[in-house]
Amino acid sequence: MRTITTTEDLAQICEAAKAQPFVTLDTEFLRERTYWSKLCLIQMALPGADGEAVLIDPIAGADMSMEPLYDLFRHEATVKVFHAARQDLEIFFVEGGVFPKPLFDTQVAAMVCGFGEQVGYETLVKKIAKANLDKTSRFTDWSRRPLSEAQQDYALADVTHLRVIYEWLSAQLAKNGRADWVAEELGILTDPATYTVNPDEAWQRIKTRTSSGRFLAMVKALARFRETYAQAQNVPRSRVMKDDALLELASTRPTSVEELGRSRLLLREGRKPEIADGILVAIKEGLEMRPEDMPKIDVARDQMQVNPALADLLRVLLKAKSESLGVAPRLIASSADLDLIAAGDRSVPALSGWRHEAFGDDAVRLCKGEIALSAKGSEVRVVRL
């Protein structure tokens, strides 16, 4: 097994990959103590049972440039294959401003091919590659060096079996004509907006039961400060303040360090001068926010009346459609999506793109009373009215 630690060696393996129809990749990273993921290792394998598989070590090779890898990502003649690629892609987008193109995600493809929701790599290895994974190194600190032989073997297994899985799933998609479905999903994964967190919108992630404009103004100002500080210092949001502490401060609205010190939920980390000062500035901003600038909850959406019987019928329709298509129901629509459709919302993702063809069109017809559902044994059928 070869470990790449120099720009020259990285360029050599990436040039070899450019001559191949596809290459499989994976990463190991840490995120427990940082805002952004810390890249610890990249695994890459070329096609074929004897295709070279290498470890790319950005820690041992601290002076190595990643540009040869990014150049491979931009090389459109070679498909870049990942499993559950979202976090991998975020790392490369944040660090290099690049997405692998073209991209293939075996987790997305497997859901489209009937392997259930959020199917794990281990499951695909067993069912498609007919192999077993050694899980002893699953929970490990990938930032520590040197890597043990067991760690290296575990890491390489994430890309060597992936070659067989990719070829099998790719053939299945060609057979069932659903490659466009996967491409639509991958379009979301390669959209910069998927990974861009705007501090002004951070308040929307915080669950609150009140719609008071002033309270939401406090939440918005505090969440904006927390997000900005966490990004700048590369620390987890919770190190600045947790959601429950943020909501407490939005309610108590301390205006001095002394008042801030009375907070029950703010951790010691959040009492440091640079954070405490930022919190007080944010509270001042929230108190002074003009009514027209205050965030507003979509009251109309919240007040939509769900027809429970219609929602139940939509669940039956979804189950029937997913079974007939061999697609995980959750990939088509969530339970919340079905409730919104039953309440009259026509903007949910389940009603557009490939989902409209697979489910959405009949879902809208069912809501309009243009179709009915009938049962014959265990089979549910759509009846045109």
| Domains of the chain, first to last | 2-194 (3.30.420.10), 199-297 (1.10.150.80), 301-384 (1.10.150)
The total of other beta-carbon atoms located within 10 Å of residue 100's CB is 26
Q: How far is it, in rounded angstroms, from Cα 126 to Cα 123?
A: 5
Q: Which residues of the chain have pLDDT under 50?
A: none
Strand partners, 376: 379
Interval 228-256: pLDDT, tens: 999 999 999 999 999 999 999 999 999 99
Q: In Å, how far are 85, 179, 307 from 171, measured between CA atoms? A: 20, 10, 42
For residue 41, with 0-12 CB atoms within 10 Å meaning exposed, 13-18 middle and 19 or more buried, which class applies? buried
Distance CA 253, CA 183 (A): 48
* pLDDT of res. 209: 83
Torsion (CA) 359, 362, 363, 365 in degrees, nearest 10? 160
